[in-house]
Chain A
């Protein structure tokens, strides 16, 4: 689907760059996001989930999106970036401006981008002297393969990307998973009884409720499936639709919670495979494990509205849940 001519582009390498520019920044960014690196954040993620559950479990109800799903990636990303956890609300506001309001409101998108850039400029300054252990410092200290430091613009672009791309996507994925379990009694009961099946279930929930649709610019005029695409046009790559391709997945529209063959494309394919996929998977698995341990019985509260995001990231924004 062609959405618009590419008259305005947010430059956030490496997600928007082509070879040969793509690889140097990508290779620098990858090591903190490997499964082995992400495993070091798992204990923190478990603690975060339990602290959040402590706040609402006794109430007998919660908003699974607001009180749980959205806060987990905000706190984990803050920890990784080395910025104060209390700035999380500010991040959520900018992300909503960029990815929800910004879909139809160009000025809001630009305002959010500028606010995020200004925020990270302040964070970068002290780390020029003393990079420290966090990801902001890591990027400042990093060198490209030819030994050069990355420019402020490149570091800012990468940080903005990690902030924007890592948060509402994961919150949407956790939220959709909770929505599914709140509305599918058998699947919920099965994961409570067999917590070791949760990682497999997470893959199926990613397939069925893929939160991300990516926009790309056509680099070379081509005919794809009978559709003429001209250089410079923007297109949407619908990972959610690919994941429900009946030619690829039997019973594609059905959530098969223990699906064995599941080469889904929720994190994209090729050189732009989501760099945070291992982090997102860890957060989803931990979020469901800790929730189901503490809240094995829950359902959707249909007396209140469930609302879903508008835009290219899909997930529940209000998810009223009755506990017990």
Chain B
């Protein structure tokens, strides 16, 4: 990935059923609402140090609700 690209994590709220696996595996990236459904913390931009855990969270979602997309970095 080039310097000008970033990875963004997203949750599809239509697919999320509250298994909460993403939150258990990468608490820094995901939080839970009052019904235990997951949402992304902040903008969803994945710091390089958390990339591995973001992919693991994605791989462990039984509903395939976690997506990781590459985006152009916002200009500084």
Contact = CB atoms under 8 A, between A and B. Distances in A.
Interface of A: 27, 30-31, 33-36, 199, 203, 260-265, 267, 269-271, 273, 277-278
13 contacts: A27-B35, A34-B20, A35-B32, A260-B56, A260-B59, A261-B56, A263-B61, A265-B62, A269-B17, A269-B63, A270-B63, A273-B17, A277-B19
B13 to A, nearest CB: 13
B36 interface: yes
Contacts of A33: 36
Contacts of B61: 263
A35 B56 CA distance: 19
Nearest to A37: B36
Main SS at interface, chain B: loop
A261 to B, nearest CB: 4
A203 B60 CA distance: 10
A35 B20 contact: yes
Given A261-B59, A265-B62, A34 B17 contact: no
Contact of A36 (B21, B32, B64): B32
A35 B59 contact: no
Contacts of B23: 35
A264 B35 contact: no
A263 B59 contact: yes
A85 to B, nearest CB: 27
Interface residues of B, number: 18
Contact of A31 (B20, B21, B34): B34
B62 A264 contact: yes
B18 interface: yes
A267 B20 CA distance: 12
Interface of B: 17-21, 23-24, 32, 34-36, 56, 59-64
Contacts, number: 55
A262 B36 contact: no
B18 A30 contact: yes
A145 to B, nearest CB: 13
Contact of A271 (B17, B20, B59): B17
Given A31-B36, A262-B60, 9 more contacts: A27-B35, A30-B18, A34-B36, A35-B20, A35-B32, A35-B36, A263-B21, A264-B62, A273-B17
Contacts of B18: 30, 34, 273
Contact of A199 (B24, B34, B64): B24
Contacts of B20: 34-35, 277-278
Nearest to A242: B62
Nearest to A275: B18
Interface centre among B36, B56, B60, by most chain A C-beta atoms within 10 angstroms, is B36
B60 A30 contact: no
Nearest to B56: A260
Contacts of B24: 35, 199
Interface centre among B19, B20, B64, by most chain A C-beta atoms within 10 angstroms, is B19
Contacts of A278: 20, 36
A30 B35 contact: yes
A199 B63 CA distance: 20
Nearest to A262: B60
Given A260-B56, A261-B56, A34 B35 contact: yes
